[in-house]
Amino acid sequence: MHSILDIIDETADSAGPDLITLDDLKFALGITDTSEDVQLQAAITMQSRIIAEYCDRRFGRATCLETFTFDYGETLPPRQALTLALYPVEEIFEISMQGATNADYQFDPESGRLWLHPGWTIGSSWMDEIAVSYSGGYDLPEEAPARLQRAIIECVNSVRMSSSFGARDPSIREVQHGDTRITYMSQTFAAGTTGQHLTPSVTDLIRPYRRISIA
């Protein structure tokens, strides 16, 4: 089974990729001036893209057509769900197979899992396809889950502390602003870093949002 996602329409205000606003990031990092705004905004966008790629999914809201293709003889076991790529699902507009539409289905908006009626037979002809027209994703950055926003804060802070912009006194180990506490770590990533940019603490934060495999 293979899935092809075709984005039909997206709203610029909610499509992303930014997972946090500049103001919220600055508040979390205790930054009160505007001298770093350009660098911080660029860092938000870059780190948001890195996290989306690592999670193998798109987070921003859009309307799309997703086509699931089945090889000849391949079947979909009873009650096995199709997993839509763009979730949480806002609305399903139409589900069709070989030109026939069907309104007899169930789906879980949060996980994007879609269950078809058992009467739909898959694999009876060459390259059966199921086309699902729907809208889904988060209204970014406001609806981004807190764990993803926290991951961006940690990623940007790590980049900021290891680069020329936002240089700090190396003797400062921790800063607290209200209920928010930032602990500065060594500029060298800890052992076990996933990929080039994501530390173990960040991968732990975003793990629940990695895309569920459809295989």
Q: Which residue has the higher pLDDT, 65 or 192?
A: 65
So what's the pLDDT on residue 104? 79
> DSSP letter at 12?
T
From 119, 77, 87, 123, select the one nearest 102 (Cα to Cα): 119
Cα 157 to Cα 28: distance, rounded to the nearest angstrom: 10
- Computed over every residue of the chain, the mean pLDDT equals 80
Per-residue pLDDT at 209 exceeds 70? yes
Cα 65 to Cα 105: distance, rounded to the nearest angstrom: 17
The 10s digit of each residue's pLDDT in 124-147 is 554 478 899 999 999 999 999 999
From residue 158, how far is each of 20, 44, 102, 116, 200 by CA, in Å? 16, 12, 49, 45, 13
> DSSP letter at 208?
G
Instruction: For residue 50, count other CB atoms closer than 10 A to its CB.
Output: 19
So what's the pLDDT on residue 141? 94
Report yes or no: 110 and 88 within 8 Å, Cβ to Cβ. yes
Q: Of all residues in the chain, what percent carry a pLDDT higher than 70?
A: 73
Report yes or no: 36 and 166 within 8 Å, Cβ to Cβ. yes
The 10s digit of each residue's pLDDT in 74-111 is 777 667 788 899 999 999 999 988 766 767 788 999 99
Peptide bond into 170 cis (omega under 30): no
Kindly report the pTM of this predicted structure: 0.75
So what's the pLDDT on residue 70? 80
Say which residues have a Cβ less than 8 Å from residue 161's Cβ, sequence separation at least 6: 168, 184, 185, 187
The 10s digit of each residue's pLDDT in 6-40 is 999 887 667 779 999 999 999 999 999 999 999 99
Q: Which two tokens stand for residue 181?
A: 């506490």
